[in-house]
Structure 1
Amino acid sequence: MLEKLYHYRAKVVSVYDGDTCRVDIDLGLSTWIKQEVIRLFRINAPEVRGEEREAGLRARDYLRELILNKDILLQTIKDRKGKYGRYLGEIWLEIDGQWQNVNDMMVQAGHAVYKDY
């Protein structure tokens, strides 16, 4: 499995909902991918539209507070995109010198649930 994981430094530039964001990805050697849509892997958060709107907005706002405009470590699954063409990824955020998994933090805070793919 490790051979199918890629790690990149990135910056979160927007958060759409509790499990989707856009990032600028540093590929190294002064090469960047801008505005790439990332779907947080293994979790599902309420939608910001429809019946789940209130919970969806809370999840989105929590994720924004955590990662918007912050430098992160992005762990992607090789060649794996979700059904809407978004790369699936784990987001890691350095907090007090320790790398924390944001996907797990969303579940632990009650803003998402684990999802099987």
Structure 2
Amino acid sequence: MEQNKYHYRARVVSVYDGDTCTVDIDLDLGVWLRGEKLRLSRIDAPEVRGEDRKQGLLARDYLRRLIDGREILLHTIKDKKGKYGRYLADIWLADDHGGWRNVNDLLVQEGYARYYRY
């Protein structure tokens, strides 16, 4: 049971950029935390503003296609928040074979983000 302490089911409400999204988190027993902003942990994607705008929009659109409006599992990093008050999390998406894919790693593998150490 301890291994699931910081794992939650959630539904993605919106995707802001390639490493930030808003979710509704199922805390169980009919209790939901709505509109929570998440920062995908361990990765950094180009910003949607500034000189990297083109790459940032590509990363955002890719993440939207993957998770927007979908149910996910998230693993928060011991409920740690980043410098902008967003929970840091790994996002897991069900695949077609009954398994799970780590979305953070997938963004790096597909070239939309890079690994980043906080």
- Answer whether TM exceeds 0.5 for this pair: yes
3-state DSSP class of the match of 2:91? strand
3-state DSSP class of the match of 1:51? coil
Post-superposition Cα deviations, 1:47-69, rounded to whole Å, max 9, x if no partner, equal 00000000000000000000000
User: How far, CA to CA, are the matches of 2:5 and 2:90 in structure 1?
Assistant: 10
Check conservation: 1:5, 1:77, Cα contact below 8 A.
no
**Aligned 1:24-43 pairs, distance under 5 A:** 24-43=24-43
Give 1:78 deviation, angstroms: 1.4
Q: Number of matched residues?
A: 116
Residue equivalent to 1:20: 20
3-state DSSP class of the match of 2:57? helix
Residue equivalent to 1:115: 116
Check conservation: 1:4, 1:77, Cα contact below 8 A.
no
3-state DSSP class of the match of 1:25? strand
Task: Note the aligned Cα RMSD (angstroms).
Answer: 1.4
Check conservation: 2:19, 2:40, Cα contact below 8 A.
yes
Give 1:98 deviation, angstroms: 1.2
Letter aligned with residue 61 of structure 2:
D
3-state DSSP class of the match of 1:47? coil
Q: Which runs of 5+ in 2 are unaligned?
A: none
User: How far, CA to CA, are the matches of 2:4 and 2:52 in structure 1?
Assistant: 34
Residue equivalent to 2:58: 58
Question: Runs in 1 of length 4+ with deviation above 6 angstroms?
Answer: none
Check conservation: 2:79, 2:88, Cα contact below 8 A.
no
Letter aligned with residue 106 of structure 1:
L
- When the two structures are superposed, what TM-score results if normalisation uses the length of structure 1? 0.95
Residue equivalent to 2:104: 103
User: How far, CA to CA, are the matches of 1:79 and 1:91 in structure 2?
Assistant: 14
Q: Which runs of 5+ in 1 are unaligned?
A: none
- Sequence identity, in percent? 66
User: How far, CA to CA, are the matches of 1:58 and 1:84 in structure 2?
Assistant: 23
Letter aligned with residue 75 of structure 1:
H
User: How far, CA to CA, are the matches of 1:4 and 1:12 in structure 2?
Assistant: 20
